[in-house]
Amino acid sequence: MIMQYTSLVMEKELSVENIRLMVRAHTIRNKPRAFTDMIFEVRLDGALSVNEVKTLAQEASANCFVENTLAKAIPLTTEVFLNGEKALTLKRIPGVTDSC
């Protein structure tokens, strides 16, 4: 996912100083062990508008091979922060249209 953000920032020449990504996952401890959901936390620092962040997040999500694969099996949430403030949340649930 961070590769998608980085590629889009460079391609669109967006004013981003820093990108950080943290992933949290919940699991089933019984066998077989599996993830039940994942939360991606993306932190951007820079001179971006909320609309630019929304477009960037939606495009990065749509182009991420790993996210597209996982979204077929488990719920995914992406929380995007701009300069420390929460800008938006994207949710993907298997079999349901993406929302934000």
Average model confidence (pLDDT) across the chain: 93
99 lies in a domain? no
What's the structural domain count of the chain?
1
pTM of the model: 0.89
Pairing between strand 85-92 and 76-82?
A: antiparallel
Say if residue 60 is exposed, middle or buried (CB neighbours under 10 Å; 0-12, 13-18, 19+): buried
97 lies in a domain? no
The boundaries of the domain holding residue 65 are 2-92
Q: What is the pLDDT at residue 37?
A: 96
Per-residue pLDDT band for 96 (boundaries 50, 70, 90) equals confident
Q: What is the pLDDT at residue 98?
A: 54
Q: In what order do the strands lie in the sheet with 76-82?
A: 16-28, 34-46, 76-82, 85-92
Q: What is the pLDDT of residues 36-69, one digit of tens each?
A: 999 999 999 999 999 999 999 999 999 999 999 9
The whole-angstrom separation of Cα 58 and Cα 55 is: 5
* Dihedral sign (CA 21, 73, 66, 87): negative
